[in-house]
Amino acid sequence: MVRRSRPSSSLRPVGRDKPVSLAALDDAAASSLAALDAAAASSLAALDDAAASSLAALDDAAASSLAALDAAEASSLAALDAAETSSLAALDDAEASSLAALDDAEASSLAALGKTCSSRLYFMIDCSLTATLM
């Protein structure tokens, strides 16, 4: 049977020469867990801060948008009121103008009718006198 030689010391893993105590491993694990807990708490705090900041920015943007919408609505309503007032004034002017034109046309028609009736009456009287005289 051939015996194999032990590996040289340069090939041994570091730290395997000495026994490691369980207390040291517990301390290292506790230290690592504490560091992880601290990092997690810090990350959660940063996330909370970022979320609060984002919500505040969203609230500000929503308030600004609502204010802009209210201003646009007020402006549109004012423009509609002005257009309605202008249209009603134009309609009133057109109605007055149309009524005046109708009155003028009626007066002109009545005057023409009066002349026609007067001419016919003279014609009838003239015909009657002529017939009587003959």
pTM of the model: 0.46
Query: What pLDDT is stored for residue 12 in this prediction?
Result: 47
On whether residue 94 sits in a domain, the answer given is yes
Per the structure, the complete domain to which residue 103 belongs is given by 29-133
Query: What pLDDT is stored for residue 24 in this prediction?
Result: 87
Query: What pLDDT is stored for residue 19 in this prediction?
Result: 66
**SS percent in the chain: helix, strand, coil, step 5:** 85, 0, 15
Which residues of the chain are under the pLDDT cut of 70? 1-20, 117-134
On whether residue 44 sits in a domain, the answer given is yes
Query: What pLDDT is stored for residue 116 in this prediction?
Result: 72
- For residue 107, the Cα-to-chain-centroid distance in whole angstroms is 57
On whether residue 22 sits in a domain, the answer given is no
Number of independent structural domains in the chain: 1
List the structure tokens of 56. Answer: 């505040």
Query: What pLDDT is stored for residue 34 in this prediction?
Result: 95
Query: What pLDDT is stored for residue 128 in this prediction?
Result: 66
CA 20 – CA 12 distance, rounded (Å)? 16
Nearest to 109, CA basis, from 117, 121, 97, 119:
117
